[in-house]
Amino acid sequence: MAQIMLWEAIQRAHDEEMSRDPMVICMGEDIGVAGGTYKATKGLYEKYGPLRVMDTPISEGGFTGLGIGASFLGVRPIIEIMSVNFAWLAMDQMFNSAAKIRYMSGGQLTAPCVFRSAGGAAHQLGAQHSARMEKVFMGIAGLRVVTPSNPRQAYGLLKSAIRCDDPVFINEHELMYNMKGEVPDGEYFHPLEGSDVARAGTDVTLFGYNISVHWCLKAAEILDKQYGISAEVVDLYSLSPLDRDGIRKSVSKTHRVVIAEEDEAPVGVGAEVIATINEECFFELDAAPVRVHSALVPQPYNHTLEKAAIPDHEDVVKAVLKLFGKA
Amino acid sequence: MKIDDKKRVLREMVLHRRFEERCYQAYIERKIGGFLHLYPGQEACCNGVMEAARPGHDYVITGYRDHVHAIKCGADPKEVMAELYGKETGSSKGRGGSMHIFDAAHHFMGGYALVGGPFPLAAGIAKAIQLKGGDEIAICFLGDAANNQGVFHETLNMAALWKLPVLFVCENNLYGIGTSIERSTAVVHQHKRVAAYNIPADECDGQDIDIVYEHARKAVDHVRAGNGPFFLELMTYRYRGHSMSDSRGYRSREEEEVWKQRDPILMLRDRLITAGAMTMADYETIEKETDAYIENEVTKFAEESPEPRVEDLEKYVLADRESQQPWLTGKAA
Ligand SMILES: Cc1ncc(C[n+]2csc(CCOP(=O)(O)OP(=O)(O)O)c2C)c(N)n1
Ligand SMILES: [Mg+2]
């Protein structure tokens, strides 16, 4: 198994799928000649040419709709929205066209497209370039939402998303493209549904996804070494649908829950996980679940304010200690 | 432009250039964070148009490459630099950053990060001017690639339909990040695209401030006289990369050199020297004084200003509650 960077994993998935199926194409701003803002499409333009690797104008609503339209006839477009903040401009087409087409056509038409986008708060990118929008995407019927926390998932989820007949939104994180991790040498398809137990434990479950999985892992390490608390970390890489079984299983084992998300609350993954626990296994709980999340503010530019607005592993540790009456 | 005005504008343009170069340095020193888009090469665009308009009176809106437009409208360079440093004394109190400079008092309505976002906002500002009956106009400075957003067309239609007092200035620098205009846009000359909306349009050299000024005057007069919108395209070039992480692999050094031969500042300088209005020594003095001002006043102010307080994280998210009590509680009567 090779150690590769997350952007390389995404690039490899593109390359394999494009060489297998001539109907797989990719499109987006600066993805071709420039190789992509995060290099995720590096070298594809040279290999597959401008008909299949399309540098688009800055017309998010337009090219997203165009990709969706092509998918009606069996093309499998991988549509890159440079930053999730720009996805607002494409959402009309994603939600009103791609997500609903199968249903409103009584199953005649489908939109097997993949939307990929970089989200999350990077460093001081300010109010209009720091959005976390998982909560918006995960509430749309007809759209699958996945979000990788490591190169293996990034590779395997993209492979599965391209093959899947449903539209899939892949939420990547701006700060994670250079993260290294193991990816199988052979072809690998990560399940689009489910969750991964990133670390097994017995005393408390830390739910995370994407970047917050790493806060949880770091927190689990500290909790184990310094406080003797055994934390299980569950990686909810599928946000829609959420893995109800996975959530129930872990909660039934640990009986205590902290959910970490980089998104703001109210509304979002944390709220949805708590609702799921209420519905699935309320009586397994020994304490009220706790959310760790960003402050409800447009992202401040100033670095001190930005840091104050976003949680990290220390906030997860604090939340757990509070659950155990140790803080 | 009169000679004295030209001399003043030259000094301003030197400030604009040096300010941006100082930002570059501060970014390398990690004093400035986030995305930073610099303006060198395009100075004649903003300056030529605003000399024909009324800075501080007319409303200006633009994208993320916004420092110079703000300063030209009257924003204090100290406050702009403090904003880039994320300080409480910054134009946006350190909350906005480079892409979001605002100075409402000088009618600078802001920098926006989403490409194309300002188009309809400019038309809306023009609508407000129309309703209020003032003689201001709205001026929207955006790039060439922004015209590929659908909202460009939607806005042109409405602006023409309602005869809104808005001037669209397209600073055509031939690139949108790393994609050249030929590769992104079916029509290179942007002024041709507005013909469908019956909006008068014009195109000219954006490097020569005298030319920009002449064309801008007609454009501004047209709009101010109540004839509705106008579209002015200025052919220009940005010398630096799109933002700080751009090694400019998509264009040749030769192409850059051709444009540097037509540097807006040097062209104006040489013209003034040839006309006998100033000497090279005068120009060098301007440069020196400007650098000293930027170092001793602008940068110093930014360095020494306080950070926002963490307790104020949620300030400015909503109106302050006290002032809104009647509506929040429903006890208006
Ligand atoms: C809606 C949206 N899509 C994409 C981007 C990323 N982006 C930022 S600037 C830019 C290029 C804009 O080029 P142009 O309008 O010509 O302005 P210039 O930077 O050349 O002044 C792009 C694609 C963005 N900020 N907003
Ligand atoms: Mg441009």
> Using one digit for the tens of pLDDT, what is the confidence trace for A93-103?
999 999 999 99
What residue numbers bound the domain in which A100 lies?
Answer: 2-183
Of A214, A313, A200, give the one whose Cα is nearest residue A246: A200
- Average pLDDT over every residue of B72-95: 98
Res A139: pLDDT: 93
Take residue B33 and report the two structure tokens written for it.
């964070």
Cis bond upstream, residue B120 (ω within 30): no
Of B115, B195, B204, give the one whose Cα is nearest residue B160: B195
Question: Residues A68, A30: one domain?
Answer: yes
Res B32: pLDDT: 98
- What is the nearest CA distance from A103 to chain B, expressed in angstroms? 28
Of A103, A18, A98, give the one whose Cα is nearest residue A61: A98
Q: What is the CATH number of the domain that holds A299?
A: 3.40.50.920
Are the CB atoms for B237 and B43 separated by under 8 Å?
A: no
> pLDDT by residue (tens digit) across A298-326?
999 999 999 999 999 999 999 999 999 98
- State the pLDDT confidence band at B332, using cuts at 50, 70 and 90: confident
Sheet strand arrangement including A204-208: A196-199, A231-235, A204-208, A257-264, A290-294
Of B62, B81, B74, give the one whose Cα is nearest residue B21: B81
Res B125: pLDDT: 97
> pLDDT by residue (tens digit) across B93-111?
999 999 999 999 999 999 9
Decide if pLDDT at B333 tops 80.
no
Q: Are B100 and A296 inside 8 Å of each other by CB?
A: no
What is the pairing mode between strands A53-55 and A204-208? unpaired
Res B84: pLDDT: 98
Q: For a substitution probing ligand 1, which of B115, B170, B237 has the most ligand atoms within 8 Å of its CB?
A: B115
CA dist B72 and B50 (Å) reads 7
Domain B3-329: CATH class, spelled out:
alpha beta
Question: Residues A35, A154: one domain?
Answer: yes
User: For residue B324, what are the contacts with CB-CB under 8 A and spacing of at least 6?
Assistant: none
Q: What percent of chain B has pLDDT over 90?
A: 97
Does B143 sit in the ligand 1 pocket, CB within 6 Å? yes
Cα A138 to chain centroid distance, Å, stands at 10
| Assembly ipTM | 0.90
A60 is catalytic: yes
- Average pLDDT over every residue of B27-34: 97
- What residues form DSSP beta bridges with A81? A117
Instruction: Write the DSSP assignment of A306-327 as a string of letters.
Output: HHHHS--HHHHHHHHHHHTT--
pTM summary value: 0.95
Q: Are A57 and B145 inside 8 Å of each other by CB?
A: yes
Q: Are A125 and B183 inside 8 Å of each other by CB?
A: no
Residue type, B54: R
Instruction: List helix spans (H) across chain A.
Output: 6-20, 44-48, 60-72, 91, 101-104, 134-137, 151-163, 211-227, 244-254, 269-281, 303-309, 313-323
Decide if pLDDT at A134 tops 90.
yes
A129 is catalytic: yes
Give ∠ CA A183-A184-A189 in degrees, rounded to 5: 95
Decide if pLDDT at A1 tops 90.
no
Burial classification of residue B178, based on how many CB atoms lie within 10 Å of its CB (0-12 exposed, 13-18 middle, 19 or more buried): buried
Q: From the list A85, A123, A304, which residue is nearest B114 (CB)?
A: A85
Q: What is the CATH number of the domain that holds A53?
A: 3.40.50.970
Can you give the residue ranges of every domain in chain B?
A: 3-329
Number of domains chain A contains: 2
Given A161, A183, A205, the domain boundary residue is A183
Given A125, A148, A183, the domain boundary residue is A183
- State the pLDDT confidence band at B237, using cuts at 50, 70 and 90: very high
Res B69: pLDDT: 98
> pLDDT by residue (tens digit) across A80-130?
999 999 999 999 999 999 999 999 999 999 999 999 999 999 999 999 999
Res A327: pLDDT: 78
Count CA within 13 A, CB hemisphere, residue B309.
Answer: 3
Question: Residues A230, A156: one domain?
Answer: no
Question: Residues A70, A139: one domain?
Answer: yes
A-chain CB neighbours of B112 within 8 Å are 128
Take residue B100 and report the two structure tokens written for it.
């979001």
- For chain B, the average pLDDT equals 97
Decide if pLDDT at A232 tops 80.
yes
Question: Residues A159, A29: one domain?
Answer: yes
Out of A8, A17, A29, A60, pick the active-site residue: A60
Decide if pLDDT at A56 tops 90.
yes
What is the pairing mode between strands A231-235 and A196-199? antiparallel
Dump strand ranges (E) for B42-192. 59-62, 108-111, 138-143, 166-172, 175-176, 179-180
Interface mutation target, options A46, A91, A174, A301, chain B, most CBs of B under 10 Å: A301
Longest CA pairwise span in chain B (Å): 71
